[in-house]
Amino acid sequence: MEKMEQGLPSIPVKRYFTIGEVAELCGVKPHVLRYWEQEFTQLRPMKRRGNRRYYQHHEVLMIRRIRDLLYDQGFTISGARNKLQEMVHADRERRRGSDAGAGFGDDEGAARPHEPAAPAPDATATAPVNGFASSPAWTGRGDILHLQQLRRELREIRELLSPTPY
């Protein structure tokens, strides 16, 4: 994966990226990103007003992985799609093994990757601000589910950043 990062700028620490920013970060044109959305079901940026796309950090990493498979390793779209599914499946299996003794409970009811988490039924009416509860007091199960989701996302990012043998 080292080869993939050569020549690409580092990804800034921020929550959302526009399609133009992602195009620059990944070395592809915006129309290519829109096409890849149709071809790779795992790639689902959030869409807001006027169908503007906003990508999260894990999606930028996935786009870089797709770019590496297509441009550097010579996969076809179909081959890259299959390889990406294999890699996601392998990552999931690895995480299942490492989550077994983690002590945070099971993943039942947790959000799937790339899908927003549903609000916890016992969450307070206070809306989160920048991902943090505006109240200093913990709300209970909602906070635990949020922490579990953050933990899974951080593991996913760590695995995406770690070199994977091809």
Closest CA to 141 of 105, 103, 93, 100: 105
Rounded Cα distance, 14 and 6, in Å: 21
Residue 137, classed as helix, strand or coil, is coil
Between 160 and 95, residue with greater pLDDT? 95
| pLDDT higher than threshold 70 for residue 23 | yes
| pLDDT higher than threshold 70 for residue 116 | no
Rounded Cα distance, 10 and 3, in Å: 14
| pLDDT higher than threshold 80 for residue 119 | no
* The model's pTM: 0.56
> What CATH number belongs to 2-161?
1.10.1660.10
Rounded Cα distance, 107 and 126, in Å: 25
Burial 127-144 (b: 16+ CB within 10 A, else e): eeeeeebeeeeeeeebee
Name residue 47's beta-bridge partners. Answer: 53
Among residues of the chain, what percentage have pLDDT more than 90? 42
| pLDDT higher than threshold 60 for residue 126 | no
> What's the average model confidence in pLDDT over 8-28?
94
Cβ atoms of 110 and 148 within 8 Å: the answer is yes
- pLDDT attached to residue 53: 94
CA dihedral of residues 33, 39, 41, 43 (deg, nearest 10): -10
| pLDDT higher than threshold 50 for residue 128 | no
Residue 154: pLDDT band with limits 50, 70, 90 = confident
- pLDDT attached to residue 93: 87
Domain boundaries, the chain: 2-161
- pLDDT attached to residue 6: 64
> What's the average model confidence in pLDDT over 51-72?
95
Of the CA atoms within 13 Å of residue 23, those in its CB half-sphere come to 12
The lowest-confidence range among 36-50, 85-99, 119-133, 140-154 is 119-133
Residue 100: pLDDT band with limits 50, 70, 90 = low
